Amino acid sequence: MLPGKCAAPRNAMSPDITDLLGNDVRKPTALVHFERDMSLTEQKVMTLIIFHCQIADKDESGFYHIRKSFVRRFLGWEDSHNYPRIYEAFEKIFDNTIRWNLLGKDKTFKSLKCKLIVSLLEPTETGPFIGFKLHPDLEPAIKDPRLFARIKLIMMAILAKPKYAFPLYEILSDCYSRGERVARLSLQELKESLGIAGPYYDQFIAFKKEVLRPNLAAINQNTDCQVAYDTYREGRKVAGVVFTIDKQDWRPPLLEEHLRELQGYYQPPVPAALPPLSAPALSTAEEQAFLDSTKLYQVAEADALQALRTHGLNGARAIRDYALRQAARRKGSKDQVRDLGAYMARCFREGYGRWEERDPPDPKRAEVPRQEVQPSGKAPSETERLAAKFKTAFRTHQSQLVDERLDRMSAEERARFDDEFAARHAVWARKFREVGPTTPLLRSAFQAFAVEMLLDPEQKDIVAFARDRSASAEVIEWLRGAV
């Protein structure tokens, strides 16, 4: 039997549970600043590994054991059961030598290159767990860090998009934790720290538009950080960015579920007197109906809740209906809305289509010539809610299949594939060559192209997908009619 083929230790944990209940990772500064060559999934798994090893103890053979379903939850993959992809992330971390302390910020830590994990048990040996060993040069710094960033673990799920929001949150949280309220980074340092390689964003205008603004907006709207930025120049050229970082009051919309996951995973039964942190409850059935209606278009619940807080119920409804009208009006045109969920979320953030408080809502404005639009006060049926969940799970499943095929391409094959996309989509070609598939609409167009080109017919069939997962006849019929 290989070492570690035993029941994974659930009750071996740090006696101090404060950090666990606070949902924080004490991530060593040297491990915040590293060469981010791997995908965002692998980067998040690395942070989760660090958190787990600070809370749990290793077995007698030196292996830590982490539950696959726990990793899935904190990646924001609640609707996916692609456990091979999770193990593949551990394999890539195991296979990669990483340069740590990239910017030399941690003076207590020597700069070195090494792997994060040095041994990985085969999945057949560990069942629902993944077993691994930490590199001996990193383990002491992980277990008892001297200089570290306090990073809220929940952010891995909340900051699933845009692409660079979570890495940027880690970097800024590290600065704040070390007492740096103002952080000055050259453009090159910032790109390297975020894992942006090659010619992308050599022009600061594109970098500002596609990286800084959307990712800082996600951080400011959804986290405990409040960040402003300015630039500095060398000659006439923008040379870098100066961040001003502060903390803000923050009520996490998803914390209750994830805290329950943490308590159930790491703790013995918790006394009933310990109250869980809870998300703010919705006050009316109409607000819940609004949330249900946005789920049909794959809008994240956090975005819909923020819309209610920012614009009120009537304002949020008006913006939703505006987005639907625009999508219907542009259908088939050169500037059609290709990702309705991303477009609607953007309208919520920017306030597009919201009438003034003093004006009564005009019923005619809410009319959209599409049967799929829900009336403002009517909640979707149970069949529609289940169908929406299947649509979300199907898109997530397709996205993971596409990512796997793209990851297996050589650099030459990927370059040819990108060129083919640009050739077939002239409207996107210039922007795609400048920044890649980074904006919501561009990413959606590229994803649709990749699905069409890379997946087999059965992998494009949502009805078959739902049937294989035991969907009811009503849901299957609804999905068939929506195709």
Whether the pLDDT of residue 396 is over 50: the answer is yes
- As a whole number of angstroms, the distance between CA 102 and CA 433 comes to 28
Let me know: does 251 contact 278? Beta carbons within 8 Å. Answer: no
pLDDT at position 5 is 41
Residues in the chain: 483
> How is the chain split into domains, by residue range?
18-247, 280-380, 383-482
Is the pTM higher than 0.75? The answer reads: no
Token pair, residue 57, equals 């103890």
Pick 41 or 197 by higher pLDDT.
41
Whether the pLDDT of residue 255 is over 80: the answer is no
- What percent of the chain has pLDDT above 90? 4
Token pair, residue 181, equals 């309220």
pLDDT at position 379 is 55
pLDDT at position 244 is 93
CB crowding 211-223: b at 16 or more within 10 Å, else e = bbebbbebbeebb
Write the pLDDT tens digit of every residue in 115-148. 888 898 887 766 788 899 999 988 888 888 877 8
pLDDT at position 79 is 54
What mean pLDDT value characterizes the chain?
75
Whether the pLDDT of residue 67 is over 90: the answer is no
Token pair, residue 473, equals 């006849």
Whether the pLDDT of residue 91 is over 70: the answer is yes
Rg (CA), the chain: 23
Write the pLDDT tens digit of every residue in 199-218. 667 778 888 888 888 899 88
**Average pLDDT, integer, range 282-307:** 78
Cβ atoms within 10 Å of 349's Cβ, excluding its own: 17
Nearest residue to 31 via CA among 177, 188, 215, 201? 177
Write the pLDDT tens digit of every residue in 163-187. 888 889 988 888 888 888 898 988 8
Write the pLDDT tens digit of every residue in 329-373. 888 777 777 778 778 888 888 788 775 333 344 444 344 444 444
- As a whole number of angstroms, the distance between CA 289 and CA 308 comes to 12
Let me know: does 96 contact 37? Beta carbons within 8 Å. Answer: yes
- What percent of the chain has pLDDT above 70? 77
Whether the pLDDT of residue 254 is over 70: the answer is no
- As a whole number of angstroms, the distance between CA 411 and CA 49 comes to 29
- As a whole number of angstroms, the distance between CA 94 and CA 91 comes to 5
Let me know: does 172 contact 219? Beta carbons within 8 Å. Answer: yes
CATH topology (fold) of 18-247: Arc Repressor Mutant, subunit A (1.10.10)
